[in-house]
Every structure is written in C-alpha cells, then in structure tokens.
Amino acid sequence: MGRLVVLAYSGGLDTSAIVPWLRERYGARVVCFAADVGQGAGELDGLVEKAERSGAAGCVIEDLREEFVRDFVFPTLRAGAVYARTYLLGTAMARPVMAAHQVALAERVGAQALAHGCTGKGNDQVRFELAYAALAPDLQVIAPWREWQFKGREDLIAYVKAKRIPVQATVEKPYSTDRNVWHCSHEGGILEDPAQEAPEHIFVMTSNPLEAPDRPVTVEIGFEEGTPVSVDHVPLRPVELLETLNETAGRHGVGRADVVEDRLVGMKSRGVYETPGGTLLHAAHRELEQLVLDRRTLRLKDELALRYADLVYDGRWWTPEREALDAAVASTQKRVTGAVRLKLYKGGLAVAGRESPFALYQSSYATFGKDNVYNQKDAEGFIRLYGLSIKIGAGLATERAGAVGAAAD
Amino acid sequence: MGRLVVLAYSGGLDTSAIVPWLRERYGARVVCFAADVGQGAGELDGLVEKAERSGAAGCVIEDLREEFVRDFVFPTLRAGAVYARTYLLGTAMARPVMAAHQVALAERVGAQALAHGCTGKGNDQVRFELAYAALAPDLQVIAPWREWQFKGREDLIAYVKAKRIPVQATVEKPYSTDRNVWHCSHEGGILEDPAQEAPEHIFVMTSNPLEAPDRPVTVEIGFEEGTPVSVDHVPLRPVELLETLNETAGRHGVGRADVVEDRLVGMKSRGVYETPGGTLLHAAHRELEQLVLDRRTLRLKDELALRYADLVYDGRWWTPEREALDAAVASTQKRVTGAVRLKLYKGGLAVAGRESPFALYQSSYATFGKDNVYNQKDAEGFIRLYGLSIKIGAGLATERAGAVGAAAD
Amino acid sequence: MGRLVVLAYSGGLDTSAIVPWLRERYGARVVCFAADVGQGAGELDGLVEKAERSGAAGCVIEDLREEFVRDFVFPTLRAGAVYARTYLLGTAMARPVMAAHQVALAERVGAQALAHGCTGKGNDQVRFELAYAALAPDLQVIAPWREWQFKGREDLIAYVKAKRIPVQATVEKPYSTDRNVWHCSHEGGILEDPAQEAPEHIFVMTSNPLEAPDRPVTVEIGFEEGTPVSVDHVPLRPVELLETLNETAGRHGVGRADVVEDRLVGMKSRGVYETPGGTLLHAAHRELEQLVLDRRTLRLKDELALRYADLVYDGRWWTPEREALDAAVASTQKRVTGAVRLKLYKGGLAVAGRESPFALYQSSYATFGKDNVYNQKDAEGFIRLYGLSIKIGAGLATERAGAVGAAAD
Amino acid sequence: MGRLVVLAYSGGLDTSAIVPWLRERYGARVVCFAADVGQGAGELDGLVEKAERSGAAGCVIEDLREEFVRDFVFPTLRAGAVYARTYLLGTAMARPVMAAHQVALAERVGAQALAHGCTGKGNDQVRFELAYAALAPDLQVIAPWREWQFKGREDLIAYVKAKRIPVQATVEKPYSTDRNVWHCSHEGGILEDPAQEAPEHIFVMTSNPLEAPDRPVTVEIGFEEGTPVSVDHVPLRPVELLETLNETAGRHGVGRADVVEDRLVGMKSRGVYETPGGTLLHAAHRELEQLVLDRRTLRLKDELALRYADLVYDGRWWTPEREALDAAVASTQKRVTGAVRLKLYKGGLAVAGRESPFALYQSSYATFGKDNVYNQKDAEGFIRLYGLSIKIGAGLATERAGAVGAAAD
C-alpha cells in the first residue's frame, strides 16, 4: 500500500481536483478533512459523498465552531488585534484551528503527508504550512497549486470532467469569497481595482445601509475578563453570541470594511470584509478597556495589538511568541468585566454607555470644582517636575544663545 | 513700575476674574492675549473692550487659524496620532500654538510672567506650562486656579461683581466646551456619567444622524506628501479645506466620538467630541497610506502614532522628541500623494475608492491566476525559510517528547 | 492614645532624627521597620536598641534577602531589564519589597501612617510612595524631608544632639551609598562631576581591575526556566548563588558601571554601581536566550525589557502593567534552561560557551556546504518574496523617473 | 554579442570559478567589480590580473572606504544599532555600499545582469539582492551557489583547475572570515560548536587580553552631532579615526564578541567578531547621549535602535523605512556634541569621563541638599498625581474586597 495524505478539503472545484491528482501524482490514498467553522448553510452538505466520488478513501468533517470562536477569535479580540488598521482577521484566525485538527487526524490515521488547496500567491498557504511546521514538523507538505501545471479554473474543470468527477455547473462568481461564523471576505476579480467601490450585490452578511431600518437599535454586550458573555443581559455561548450579534449588526448594515492590505508574500491586495458581530465586539471591548485599564496598561496593549495582528495575519499562531502575548493579554483582562451599549443605525455605530464594577473612572476626581479627594495644588509640583528636563534643556539653549550673541559682539 | 504679566485670555468668566486678581495679588499690569483658532462666530467680538473693562492694560488678538491647521493639525494628522483610540486631539493641538504666541508677545512687551486660566485638574495647565518651560524658561508662571481661594463659578461671579466688571448674565451651560476649527469638545457636568449617552442638544458641529440627509454624499480628498490639498478636485488652503469638510461631514452627522480617556494628571475623564472634517481626513489619510506605503513603513508609523498621540495629548509639543518624530513622519510622506473618496451617510463613513501614482498595489501581482511577474513556486522557498525556526523548535520538542516518552516506559 | 506611624528605618542619621520628629510633629508613636536585603555585615547590629533610644515604640527587623532575590531580582533578570543602558536596578528593585513588608507591619500593628526617610529629590520617595498607594491606599504618607525645615546634615546632628539621641561620631562619607545583596551604588558629593573618573577608594564589592588576579577564571552558571540555579554545577539557593558570584566577579574586578541616568523626578544624576554577580547573571541569561529563543521572541523580549526597566526604575512594581509583563516573560522562559560559561579577567567578561537541551542552534543547518536538511534553492523564492515590495516600489520610481525624464525632453 | 554580467568579485576561489561558469552557463561576458572596504593589506593586490586570467572582460576596483564609514557605518552608530544584543553589524553594513556601486557600474557598462558569490544559506545573498531589487529592479540576478551543481570547495578547485585558472594553493582556513575597516568576522568550521570557546589563533584585529599591555590607556573621542570627529583632540577623517581606534583598542584586546545570532533565512548561527574601534565608538556615543538627550528621546532611540539593527542585518538598507529612521535619528543628534574618555585595559572597557556643552546633567539639580533651583515640596504633588491611578485602582480593590468580606459574613 502506498502513502496516505490528509487533505484540507472544501468540496469546491480546487480540492475536488486535488483528490484525483494526489492519487495520480503521488500514488497516494487521500483522506479528506473538512472543518465546520460556520461557512454557512449548505456548504458542508453532501461533502462526504462528494469526496468519495472524487476518489477519496474517506472524509472526516468536524464541527470546530465553538473552539474556533472561543480559542482563536476571542483571544484575538482580547488582544485588540486589527490588521492593516481595519481588517478583523476573520480568515487568518480560522486557519490555525483547521490545520491543527487536520494534523490531529493525520496522526490518528497514520498519514505521511498533509495537503491543502491554497494558491501560491496568498496568505493561506503560509498559515497552513506554518501550522504544519509547528505541529507536525516531520510530515511532508503538498501544495498542489505550486506544483501542478494547471493554470486556472478552466484547466481544473477540464481535468475533473476527464476524471468523471461530478462538479456542479455553478456559474463562477467573479471574485472569491471566504466565510465563517466571524466574517465573510471578498477579493479578486471585479474587486481588484481599489479605486472602485465594491458593488452592493457582493454582500451576504450585511444589509445595504441605505436600506437598513429607519430606527436605530441599541445593543448591550456583557463581558467577563475580556470575554463577551451576554447580549442584552442574556447569557450566550460563544457561537450563539456571535450569531446573535451578526444578525443585529448585519440587519443595520454595520461591519463592512474595504481594505488595501499587505500580504505576507510581498504584494498588496484589496479585500472587502463583512464582520458585523465582530465589529460590535471590537468596539465594545475597546470601550470597556478604556474604562477599567490604566493608561500604561492600555498603551502596552495597543503596542502588543499591532504585534498580535501581524502574527495572526502571518500564520504564526502556533509559536512561543503568541503564547507570550496571550499570557500578557490574559493578565490585563482580569478587570475587563462590565457592559457596553452600542447604538447601530444605517451602517454606523456609536457608543451609548459603558459600566463596570472596576471602572477607574470616578466622577469625584474628574469634576472641575470643589472636591476633597484631589488637591489642585498638587498639579503645580507635578508640572514642575514633569517639565523639568524641558526647562533645563531650554535654559541651556538660552544660555548658549546668549554666549554666542556675546561672542558675536 | 510694577511687573508685567501676559495672560492667555478668552473673555469668559474665569479670565475676566483673573485680570483684576493679578493686579491685586501681584500688583501687576496685565496684557491679555487671545488667539483666534476658529472658536466660532462671535467668540472674539468685543474682546478688547471686555479686557480693558476688566482692568487689562491691553489686549492683543491674533488670528492663528492658518498656522494652527498647517503646523499643528496637519503634522498630527500625518503622524496618524489618535489618543485613547478615538480622540483626535483637537484641544491638545491648539495649546502649543497659543502658548507660543503668548510667549512671543511676552517677549515683545518685556513681561516677567505668563498666566493662564486653566484649572488644576485638567490637561491644559500642563500643555500651557510645558510650552512656557520650553519657550520661556525664565519667565514666571502664574496659574490662578491653583493659587486663589475661589472654589467655583459662584465665587467668581461674586468677585467680578464686586469689582464692577460687566459679565453677561448668561445661563451657565451644564457642561464645558472647547471649540476650534478642528473640533468641538464637551465634558463635565451632565456628561459625567459614562454609562449615559450624551444628549442630542449638546452637539454644535454635527447633525443628528437620524436627521441627516437621506442620500449619501461622496467626497474626494486630494493629498500631496501627506497633506490634504483639495476637496472634490478644488484646491483649498488649510482652513478653507477644513471648513469645507466640516460642513459636509457635519451635515451628514459624521465625526462624533464619545471617549473615556486618561488625563495626564492621573484620573480618567469622559469627553464627547465633534471632529467632522478631521474624521474624514484621518480616514482618508490612513487609506492613502495603505495604498502607497510598504508594510514595514506602515508598521513603523503605527508605532510612532501611539507615541505621537501621547506626546500631543500631554503637551510635550516643543520638545526634541517631537522634532525627531516629525522628521521620521515627513520622510514617510514623500509618496503619500493621491486621492481618496469617502461616502458619508447618516453618521457613517465608508471608503469608496483610492488612487495614487505611487500605489504599491498592482493587480498584476495580486490576482490569483496566470501571471508572468510572480512565480508561485517562489512561495515554497519563502515559506520553508520563513517557518524554519518554527520547524526546528517543533522538531526539538518532538525529539524531547520522544525521549521523555522513552524514559517513561 | 495618639496615632501610630510605621517608619522605614535604617538607623542612620536621617531616620534617627525622624523618630523624635514624628513624635513632636504628629504626637505619634513610632514603630520602626528595618529590612535585611543584604546591606552587609554590621549594618543591622544594635538596630533595635538604637531605635528605642531614639524614642521608637518598637523596632521590627525582617530578613527579606531570599524573597528579594527570588521575587524581585530574578524576575527583573528574566525580563532582561537594564535602565539607562547599563544600570542593573539594584536600589530600585529593593524598594517594593521593603515597602510591602512595611505596609504589612502597619496593618498588623494598626498604624494610621507610613513614613520614610528619602529626600525630595530622588527616586526612592516615589518608589516607596507608589508601593504605599498600591498596597495601602488609605494610610497617610509622611515624608519628613519634604516637610521639615532641616536643610542638611548639620541641622540633623544638632537636632538629635539636642534630643540626646546617641549618634556615632562617624566621619561622613563624601558621597552616598546604598548596598544590598545585588549591588552597591555610590552617588553625590565627590562623584557629581560626570567628567571625572570615580576614585578607586569608593569601591567595596569589586577589586581594582589592575590588581585583580593575573589568571582568568571561568564560571559556569546553570539556569532552569530563566532562573539561575547553580554555579559550576553546584545547586545553590538564590542568595547563596548571588553571593558566590559576587565574590568571584568582585575578586576579578567585574561589574562596575559609571552611569549618567535620568531620575524620574526630571533631572539627570550620575551614579557609580557595583553589581559583580548581577553582571554575570545578565550576561549569562542573555546568552542562553540567544541560544534557545527564536528571533521574534527575542525581539519581543528586547522591547519589553525597555519597558520593564522603566517600570522598575520608576517604582511602578505593584501595578497591573508589571503583572502583564511578568506573565509574558514567564511564558518565554519555559525553554531558557541550560548553562553558560563566562571567563572573567581583570575587570573584563567574555562568553566562553553555552549549551541547552533546547538550543535552536543546529550546526546541520548553519554550516555552509552540503546538507540534506536545507535546500539552498529555497532561498531564491524567499528573497524574491521578501524583497517583492521593495522591487515594486523601485520599479514604480523607475517608471516615473522615466516619465519625468521623457517630459523633460 | 551575448549578454553582459557584472559580478561582485573578491578574487577568492568562489568568484574565480564563477567567472568561467557565467561564460559557460549564460554565454555572458563578465565584468568584475571589487570594492575596497578595508579588507586589509594584500587582499586586492593583483586582482585585475587575476580576474582577467579567470576570463573576465574587465575588472573595476573602487576604494569605498571613506563612503562606507561615513554613510553606512556612522549612521548605524548614531542609530545605536546592535543586532542580537552584541553584534555590531560589520558585514551587514558593507553589503549595501558594495551593491550600490556594483549596480552603478552595471548601468555604466550597460549590463543585463548582476551576480554575486554568496551561498544560499547566509544573509549576504539577501543583502545583495535586496539592494539590487531597490536600485536595479529590472536587472536579472544570478546567484551561482543556488544554481550550479558544485557542492563545496573540492568541486570548485577541480573546476577551476580544469579551466586552467591559476588559484593559489593556499591552505584552507578551517572557518570563514570577512574583514573590513570596521570589523573582522569568523564563523563556520571549527567555530560551529557554541559550547566551545573560540581558539585564540583566529583573532586578527585584537590582542589576547592576557597578553595586552599591563598599563591601561585612556582614549578620548570627540563627537559632533553624533559623528565621531577626533581622537585625543586630534581631528581625524572617518577612516583614519577608525583605524586609529582599531589600533589602540586592538592592542588592548578590546572589541571581541562571541555571538549566537538568528540569520534572516531562519537558522541560528554562531559568529565571533572583532570590532575594536567600533566597540569604543558605540560605548562612547551611548555615553554622550546619556549626558545630552532627555529621557524620552533616549527611550525613543532605544526602540528605534532595535528596528534599525534588524533592518541593517536583513539587508533592507535601501528602503523608505531606513530613510525614515535616519531622519528621526539625525534630528536627535543635534546636541550629541562633546567628548567621552574610555579606559582600556586587558580586554575591558570603562567610561572615564564625558562632557558636553549641551549636557542636561546639572549638579545644581542633582545634589541632595540645599538648593534654590529645585523645591523638594514639588515632589509631593508630583508623586500624588503620578500615583493617582494606582491609588484609585487599589482603593477600588479594597472597597470590593470589603464588600466581598461583608458578603461572606
């Protein structure tokens, strides 16, 4: 018997072609692995049968939604990580959880290799393969798109037809899409010109703001130690919570982002993202932190967030660096407990209130006017010492200017 | 002849009381200095007469609007500086320009001291006094609010009445406001509870999103080397440009922020800000940078932006640190030339297109599919080396786990 | 019954005067608290009697050496924190442990206030008082040096003589010193001119390099998870280990630093430090990390080290920020296990070898020449993608330069 | 006529083989380019003849020493850049200047390609090729070591012998070396075990500390705006200055470093470096900065230094990021003028004094005791505000602990 390969499988055209190609090219038996990370209704239907028709020796589907949100999405949220200033990392976060379970399956079935269907120009190949490097350094990696001679969709269709593999005669979308419970991304094709607005018809999770309800809605999100736990006072588990927020935010047209970003592999690309619930969660979490964390801890977090975003985007999830960052972030979240209200209206989002038992905000200190807790005279000493080095430096310049002036006489 | 003091003067109740108080307390002649930074119609009317009636020896008003926008607002914009994640620094940027001109006046008239009307609990006292320390280290600083015995508005009213200084019997606003051509801030009083939404009636520069026009508008902002220079293809000077954007964004309800922030003097406060044009400028500038700057330069800028925001907020404008940051930022802006279109609707803001002759985005590289400029096989070597240390680290763990397992047998 | 004050007490002239002064000024009973952090032989002898003769109601001495080294010195070492590029933070690390035990004593005895003998110009007042703020926010703080009228040593001597408190007629050292098991600092007086070399006679922990042994010695330090645990293969507890290294390094003249540093209170000062064992520990720890941590984790640590050093120097030990940093550092130290050999000679220090079961260094990868584990062709793809944005940017410039050139024709 | 290639040529075995190989493989004419960056006596002797005998169409040698030191070494020094905590970047800094002149030559002679002799496992290939990408994005790059089939030294010797190219029958050194006016590096071969001390015989620029002079020497280095300009009061041009310091420091055994570092291409390597003069320059520059720069500017520089070091090490010299960093650094150096004295002895280095007309250090502020310029009471207000958020946070915890305690009753 030949070698065994576990393939990250979606059932789309690409991976449908990869199954027979792996058999031909490597004489391998192929076990397909598909993860449910919330791609949406129907995406996983009939997948086992489809894999088998492609010639796979088997197909395993795992529901990773809860793990995805709890262990990948929420840590990234707590870290405040946003890539390219506005991208909420929906695709990037899904890869390490999928790859980890693919690896675990490979170990269970005794496979010698791992394969994926990512192209050679994108980030996903890196994300999958760095996860493989970290979790299965001894397994071979096969990336058909970097190896075979097929150039595009037409070649693949011809190939699978020749192999008598049934693929649905779906009309190709003129751009590519990736969806999970956190977000939906759109890129390529008709979206390639960053000077052009994205057409309204591509959006699937968010309403057109112009057609959103005429009355705003206010949503209250509750957090415990940085993790969202309730919506409008109803405790919810991670996936439920996210779906609830997706529905509300999506209905009001909130959560779209149009981003020109730098791929890890060196070129810029343009993506259009829908992250309705995630947009609310990031805004609410940030707001709660402003209330309960001191200034220095906030600044530390803002610096770490830049680093965390790069790390997630680049697929370096399974690394000591991420563990160190997570440890720091977890420490900061001990008091990030409370609630934030957001008002959604026609695609816009506004903070409508925040509260926490750990609020460092105390009106008794902040108020201008009489008070007992704060002695305004303290500010005098504070400013004098805070500005001392500025004054010394300035005095020095003055003295020297004087000296120079004198010398010039 | 007594000493001469130059007072940063607004004509409000506080500085109206400070004029006679400085005369009494210090036997000083008082020259008032007022800066026009775009406080709005009427704020400066009759100011000279008002100062004289308070007992000032003179009052000088300078129009600093152009300098303010060009030399303080735009550098901060180019730096991408945002404090507390959402505050666009409107008040903080105005202080160093005002203080610098106050100092220059003091030098012209041969004053021995500088005074301001800031309270002892806020940031502005620090901003004024650090500017004084840098620009006039030898002049005395007088901060009446930290020195006199008056406790609040009532005391001041009684005092000025006793001095027969005419103050308008205006009804006090139940919160305090600071306005200039960049923004309007509101804080204190009825805004002190961060759990409560700001009431609609406080807003002066922005419409209620619910009452904003039912049709979106698209605005195109042109930049040259990071500086905004045109709106909808019409070249505009800094103040004009800002006023144009303020009008459009304000009409569509764009540019409000509700912020819990950390004052430099140690406590948290809550501010509600309107920065209509500035909100567009920051979004557009950020977007253009995404198109033309490489990833590492963007990351450098994002780190420097955090530092720049702290620096501006804390009043450390006139320092070598700011000069160094400005030098770095200026270097990065050489290619930040191009145009960005923003769509405004009911308080919301979306990017509708960006273009630049220096765009690093090139669809020939980004496209998935056939191409000549990019060899997908390159990615294989890239990933292998990029992930090499991960793999070595993982292999090590595996080996050792094996060793441990063996030992445990 | 009057109020009760717990005083951080050293038995020197200053605190000997503070005891009666607190009784007079505040009508307080005074309990003295002294910590043994390794000040050296004799420093604590007769301290209880001395305190009582000054009029104290009691004096408690606690041996904090082990806790100091284990919980304050070693975490700072693991963080790699060095202030002002060369100061190893010996005094700064001692304050939070002393203050914490002083606070605990105050709670046990039911005191209403805490006092210390630090002057109003130094960092130590801040370090003590920030610890008090964090650990006993409700207790009053008394800082006699900022309050009384005494101006210097002569005033104090006159005062204690008038109070018939016996103080030894020691000749005053013409500079001040602070010593503990980690270091000895010298500053002030004859050391104030940073243009002058420190005189040889001030050094107490380190030999003159010119008189150090003529043969080098090699020391091997063993680490477990970032913590030093052995010297020359002999397991040692923290204080023992440090004393062993102090003796060896001190004998060879290793560990001196002459530093111009910025005090938190705004001015620069000059300190001369002896940190013999600590200098070895920092060098060895850094070296071991280079062997076992990946590049990105090292870079993260280097950035956090700057922040950690500021934090320790400024007395912000008991804060959420330090907890977050410690959590990150601890996570990175899991593999910092191994041994480093250092060669000491005439004041100099050189690395003579390092090894670890977790070394990421593998000669099979590093060697130039034939190998199976590394495919040199991979570098081609790596460089091409790594440099892609540089190339795109350059091509753009070329194109445009061409265009400009053409236009100029 | 065929294509024309410009080869970075050293005259060693590798590039001697590359000349005929390029002719065979590409049918190319080869122009050799050699740069004098201070490799040392004899290294460039007879190079033109040697190149021609290898079959080159020509050989151009340029003396880049002054430019190298002035425009590459000194900026890196001013930036304070040190890689892997101790490596002073000697090889890394030389590559961009060499590549830039190689590119300029290629343009002059109308070449279509650039070639170098770096192996596929090291950093230098990246440094050369990123410079090519930035400066000549349209030229082809040929890296024979990644392309040909030769596996090592023996293969090359056989090849050049077959081509009748005369190569000296030198005994191969059992490690590789790279030398320029700034440093000499040694790596590979017998140095590959990081647990073993480097043997004494490898060192060429520095004496054995055990055999260094028995009397210390003091050297004074003068700086203007961050650039070293004199030694012991004698003004010197860059190369002279460096050679003078190399001689003195080398004689006293100062400037060795043994480093485990991370190569850009993913593996760790071990290098032994001699940087005698450079070690003095870094120490002196750092020391002068401590005297004249304020704390925040120092901290900014320390952060930028980490980034600058990575950038230089990784070969990203010709990038907008470096330009931005240089602009920031240049701004900070305006006052870095003055002199630093260093004492050298038996391999060790100590600061023996520093002075500057711009010193922010002023003993009148730093002294503990009576003074007029500093009011110790200011510290009270300073500490209270500086620690305010700590106190609020702690009070909160206390309150809540109280509440919890009460609830538990």
Among the partner-chain residues D345, D367, D390, the one whose CB lies closest to the CB of C134 is D390
CB contact under 8 A, C324 and A329: yes
The alpha-helical segments, DSSP class H, found in C54-211 are 65-68, 74-79, 90-109, 124-135, 153-162
pLDDT in tens, C221-244: 999 999 999 999 999 999 999 999
Pairing verdict, β A227-231 and B217-224: unpaired
CA atoms within 13 A on the CB side of D6: 25
A145 close to B376: Cβ distance less than 8 angstroms: yes
Q: What is the mean pLDDT of residues A236-255?
A: 98
* Strand-pair partners of A219: A342
* Strand-pair partners of B273: B185, B257
pLDDT in tens, C17-73: 999 999 999 999 999 999 999 998 788 889 999 999 999 999 999 999 999 999 999
- Got the DSSP string for A284-343? HHHHHHHHHS-HHHHHHHHHHHHHHHHHHHTT--SSHHHHHHHHHHHHHGGG--EEEEEE
CB contact under 8 A, C381 and B386: no
* Strand-pair partners of C222: C230, C339
- Got the DSSP string for D166-191? ----PPPPSSEEEE-SS-EEEESGGG
User: Is it the case that residue C158 has pLDDT exceeding 50?
Assistant: yes
- Domains, chain D, in order of start with CATH, read 4-175 (3.40.50.620), 178-363 (3.90.1260.10), 368-400 (no CATH)
DSSP D37: S
pLDDT in tens, C232-289: 999 999 999 999 999 999 999 999 999 999 999 999 999 999 999 999 999 999 999 9
pTM, whole model, 2 decimals?
A: 0.96
Q: What is the mean pLDDT of residues D381-400?
A: 83
Distance between CA atoms of residues A306 and D198, nearest Å: 40
Interface residues from chain B to D (CB-CB < 8 Å): 262, 265-268, 293-294, 296-297, 300, 303, 307, 316, 319-321, 323-332, 334-335, 385-389, 392
CB contact under 8 A, A331 and C329: no
B381 close to A214: Cβ distance less than 8 angstroms: no
Q: List, edge to edge, every strand of the sheet that includes A176-179.
A: A176-179, A184-187, A268-274, A256-262
Burial of residue C289, with CB atoms counted within 10 A of its CB: 0-12 exposed, 13-18 middle, 19 or more buried: buried
CB contact under 8 A, C188 and D320: no
List the helix and strand counts (H, then E) for chain A. Answer: 15, 14
Compute, in degrees rounded to 10, the torsion defined by CA atoms C61, C63, C67, C73.
Answer: 90
Q: What is the mean pLDDT of residues D96-110?
A: 98
Among the partner-chain residues A267, A297, A327, the one whose CB lies closest to the CB of C328 is A327
Name the nearest CA neighbour of B287 among B365, B216, B363, B349.
B349
Matching residue, tokens 């650090």: B130
Matching residue, tokens 């940073």: C194
pLDDT at A405: 37
B386 close to A130: Cβ distance less than 8 angstroms: yes
User: Is it the case that residue B204 has pLDDT exceeding 90?
Assistant: yes
Q: Which residues contact B87 (CB under 8 A, 6 or more apart)?
A: B257, B259, B261, B271, B273, B313
Phi-psi region of D261 (alpha: psi -120 to 50; beta: other; left: phi over 0): beta
Distance between CA atoms of residues B134 and A390, nearest Å: 6
pLDDT at B184: 98
User: Is it the case that residue B2 has pLDDT exceeding 70?
Assistant: no
pLDDT at C397: 61
Mean model confidence pLDDT for chain C: 93
Percent of chain B's residues with pLDDT above 70: 93
Please give the distance of CA B341 from its chain centroid, rounded to a whole number: 23
pLDDT in tens, C329-351: 999 999 999 999 999 999 999 99
The residue among C402 and C96 whose pLDDT is bigger is: C96
pLDDT at A397: 61
Please give the distance of CA C347 from its chain centroid, rounded to a whole number: 20
pLDDT at D403: 42
User: Is it the case that residue B171 has pLDDT exceeding 70?
Assistant: no
Please give the distance of CA B264 from its chain centroid, rounded to a whole number: 15
Least confident stretch, A393-402, B305-314, C152-161, D328-337: A393-402
pLDDT in tens, D21-76: 999 999 999 999 999 999 987 888 899 999 999 999 999 999 999 999 999 999 99
| Tokens coding C84 | 């002002």
Q: Which of D23, D65, D78, D95 is catalytic?
A: D95
pLDDT at C31: 98
Give CA angle at B187 (B186, B190), nearest 5°: 110
Distance between CA atoms of residues C167 and C165, nearest Å: 6
Q: Annotated catalytic, D14?
A: yes
What are the chain B neighbours of D306 within 8 Å (beta carbons)? none
What are the chain C neighbours of D119 within 8 Å (beta carbons)? 368, 376
Confidence category of residue B400, pLDDT binned at 50, 70, 90:
very low
Matching residue, tokens 């010698």: A112
pLDDT at C73: 98
Burial of residue C174, with CB atoms counted within 10 A of its CB: 0-12 exposed, 13-18 middle, 19 or more buried: exposed
The residue among C213 and A151 whose pLDDT is bigger is: C213
pLDDT at B369: 53
| Tokens coding D179 | 């030398």
Contact partners for chain B, using 3 or more CB pairs closer than 8 A, are A, C, D
- Got the DSSP string for C100-122? HHHHHHHHHHT-SEEE----TTS
Confidence category of residue C400, pLDDT binned at 50, 70, 90:
very low
What is the 3 state secondary structure string of A178-204? EECCCCEEEECHHHCCCCCCCCHHHCC
C287 close to C104: Cβ distance less than 8 angstroms: no
Q: What is the mean pLDDT of residues A333-359?
A: 97
Torsion sign across C-alpha atoms D168, D174, D176, D178: negative
CB contact under 8 A, C361 and D269: yes
* Strand-pair partners of B223: B228, B338
Q: Which of C95, C270, C286, C322 is catalytic?
A: C95
Mean model confidence pLDDT for chain B: 93
pLDDT in tens, C309-325: 999 999 999 999 999 99
Distance between CA atoms of residues A351 and B198, nearest Å: 10
Distance between CA atoms of residues D114 and D125, nearest Å: 12
DSSP B69: I
What are the chain C neighbours of A307 within 8 Å (beta carbons)? 300
pLDDT at A58: 97
pLDDT at D87: 98
Among the partner-chain residues A375, A386, A396, the one whose CB lies closest to the CB of D358 is A396
Distance between CA atoms of residues D247 and D231, nearest Å: 12
pLDDT in tens, D113-145: 999 999 999 999 999 999 999 999 999 999 999
B184 close to B178: Cβ distance less than 8 angstroms: yes
Q: What is the mean pLDDT of residues D138-167?
A: 91
Nearest-CA residue of chain A relative to D364? A392
The residue among B268 and A400 whose pLDDT is bigger is: B268
Least confident stretch, A23-27, A162-166, C183-187, D312-316: A162-166
Burial of residue B233, with CB atoms counted within 10 A of its CB: 0-12 exposed, 13-18 middle, 19 or more buried: exposed
* Strand-pair partners of B340: B221, B354
Q: Annotated catalytic, B356?
A: no
Confidence category of residue D399, pLDDT binned at 50, 70, 90:
low
Torsion sign across C-alpha atoms D197, D268, A102, A112: negative
Confidence category of residue D152, pLDDT binned at 50, 70, 90:
confident
**Residue of A291, A361, A363, A388 to mutate for D, most D C-beta atoms under 10 A:** A388
CB contact under 8 A, D381 and A375: yes
| Tokens coding D22 | 């390029």
CB contact under 8 A, D325 and B324: no
Q: What is the mean pLDDT of residues C358-377?
A: 75
pLDDT in tens, B129-156: 999 999 999 999 999 999 999 988 889 9
Confidence category of residue A184, pLDDT binned at 50, 70, 90:
very high
CA atoms within 13 A on the CB side of B289: 30
pLDDT in tens, A251-269: 999 999 999 999 999 999 9
Distance between CA atoms of residues C57 and C31, nearest Å: 5
What are the chain D neighbours of C367 within 8 Å (beta carbons)? 121, 188, 192
Return the amino acid letter for B356: S
Q: What is the mean pLDDT of residues B274-290?
A: 98
What are the chain D neighbours of B385 within 8 Å (beta carbons)? 265-266
pLDDT at A365: 73
Q: List, edge to edge, every strand of the sheet that includes A217-224.
A: A234-235, A227-231, A217-224, A338-345, A348-355
What are the chain C neighbours of B374 within 8 Å (beta carbons)? 388
How large is the angle between the packed helices D90-109 and D124-135, nearest 10 degrees?
40
Confidence category of residue D166, pLDDT binned at 50, 70, 90:
confident
pLDDT in tens, B175-193: 999 999 999 999 999 999 9
CB contact under 8 A, C396 and B295: no
Q: Which residues contact D67 (CB under 8 A, 6 or more apart)?
A: D97
User: Is it the case that residue A406 has pLDDT exceeding 50?
Assistant: no
For chain D, how many residues are written? 409
| Tokens coding D371 | 């003074």
Return the amino acid letter for C214: D
Nearest-CA residue of chain B relative to D329? B324
Confidence category of residue A169, pLDDT binned at 50, 70, 90:
low
User: Is it the case that residue A398 has pLDDT exceeding 70?
Assistant: no
User: From the CA of B209, how many Å to the nearest CA of chain A?
Assistant: 8
Confidence category of residue B405, pLDDT binned at 50, 70, 90:
very low
CB contact under 8 A, D262 and B326: no
Confidence category of residue C403, pLDDT binned at 50, 70, 90:
very low
Matching residue, tokens 């720091």: A328
Least confident stretch, A247-256, B362-371, D268-277: B362-371
pLDDT at D276: 98
pLDDT at D409: 40
Interface residues from chain A to C (CB-CB < 8 Å): 262, 265-268, 293-294, 296-297, 300, 303, 307, 316, 319-321, 323-332, 334-335, 385-389, 392
What are the chain B neighbours of A208 within 8 Å (beta carbons)? none
Name the nearest CA neighbour of D256 among D187, D183, D350, D310.
D183
